[in-house]
Structure formats: structure tokens, C-alpha cells
Amino acid sequence: MFEFPRIPTPLDIGRTLAGHPWLAAAGALGGGTAFLGYSVLYSGSQVFAPVIKRIKDRRAVALTFDDGPTPAFTGPVLDILARRNVRATFFLIGRNARTNPDMVARIVAEGHTVGNHSWDHDHRGAFGSRSYWAAQLERTSRILFDASGKSPVLFRAPMGFKTFSQARAVQRAGLRFVAWRVRAWDTLSISARTITRIMKNRVRGGDILTLHDGLEPARRHCSQEQTVRALPQIIEYLRDRGYRCVPLEAALDFPVYESTQGISGKGG
């Protein structure tokens, strides 16, 4: 007669590991590797520093856009938001902002919040030193201040990756990490319908939602046209569900801009 195998108890596992120290070492190594991966790769991880990924108002959501300004896509996104009287938050790349200062000024003039998204969004830079990150942050904040008169307190790590050295630089600069709870994955080659479906299936009140209006300096051959196409449907869905779209400036209980010219003198 068939019998289900007995499930090992914690005591059984403990005895096995005690008899085979290499298994215990391998388990510890695997657990440590998994924890490190979670700490670095998970956008909402708070191992290295506090991270904001939701807002308190459960009747609202915060639309955020990364990697701009890129006029071909940021301009149409701003037009859609203006027609629907929606305010959002834009995490801007310093190099893109330097090339398009008028677009930065427009974002702020139209009532949107701006945040720091590093100087060049280098994927290898996630593991840079504290001085590397201090320079990335200060250079970007200075460009944003010159273009708009605003020096942001909010910082979104490229790809959401965080390290101890980066966190020290961010905190030393007086900035705050902002992640997200729902990501549209709209930097992939997916349709506007798929982008919209992802947002519809996952959104809840109080969420920070992430889309992309710009291109990283290394992604100039790509396009965010599908994001532009999806945005009106996303806004319509959110309103049909009774959610207000708010910029982080209105959603957080602390100032999102420095009162003086940003982080100069804080880094290093």
C-alpha cells in the first residue's frame, strides 16, 4: 500500500545539519546571498535606509515617471496630464535635465513634483563608492536647481537598486529614498494594453505607481510611445475607481525641496 513519505521535522533537519557541517555552511551562505540580493535588488528594501513606497491617503495614488526629461515622450505625457488636470512626480536624470532645462522648468511650472534620479543612470553605478554617489546626487540636484529653482529632497535609485555606500551618500545629502509599489514594466517591449492591464490588476489606494517618460542615456534607441498611449486609459481607470492622483509634494508630510540650493557642501 502506498504511503506518503514522512515530512522531516525541524529536529530531523537539525540532526542532519549537525552531522554534515558543510550542509549548514552551504545553507548559511545561501541564506546570506538571498538576504543580500533582497537588500540590494528589491526596490522597497529598507535594509540600508528608510524607503517610501506608499502614501498615507488611501483614497489617492501617486503617479510617478522616471528617466526624463526626453522631449519626445515627456512633452506628450505633460500634455495628457494637463488636459486631465492631473499632477504627478518626475524623477529626472541629470544628463537629460542638462540637455533639456526648458522641459524641467515646464514640469515644475505645471505643478508637478521633481526628484533626483542620478546623473546618468549607469547600471554599474549601483555599486559605486560613497564619493561616486555624492557626486551623482550633487551634480543632478544642481542642474535641477539651475533649471527650475527647485532642489529636490526625493531620490529614486536607478532600477531601485540600493547599497550601503549609496545609502550613506543619500542620507548625508539629506535626501529621502522613494520607491514604488506598482511598476508598469513599460521599459520592456510591451503594448499599451499590457501596460494598462498591469496597472489595473495591481493598483490599490495609497500606492506609488511607476511609469517612464524618458530614456536613460544608454537607451537612446528605445521608445516610451506605448507609455504615452497607455496613460489616458490608466488615468481614466484610476478616476473610475475613485482615486485621486496626487504629486508627492502634496502627499508626503515633509518638504520635498531644500529651502536653499540643494546638497552642495553635504556630500563627500
CA–CA separation, 258 vs 174, rounded Å? 9
Q: Which of 112, 117, 121, 212 is catalytic?
A: 212
Q: Which of 66, 67, 186, 213 is catalytic?
A: 66
Q: Spell out the alpha helix ranges (H) of 110-252.
A: 130-148, 164-172, 192-202, 225-240, 248-251
CA–CA separation, 186 vs 15, rounded Å? 49
Q: Is the peptide bond before 69 cis (omega within 30 degrees of 0)?
A: yes
Q: Is 66 known to be catalytic?
A: yes
Q: Is 112 known to be catalytic?
A: no
Residue 66 to residues 18, 22, 69, 95, 181: CA-CA distances in angstroms? 50, 45, 9, 13, 14
* Triad 171, 126, 38: Cα angle to 5°: 85
Catalytic residues: 66, 212
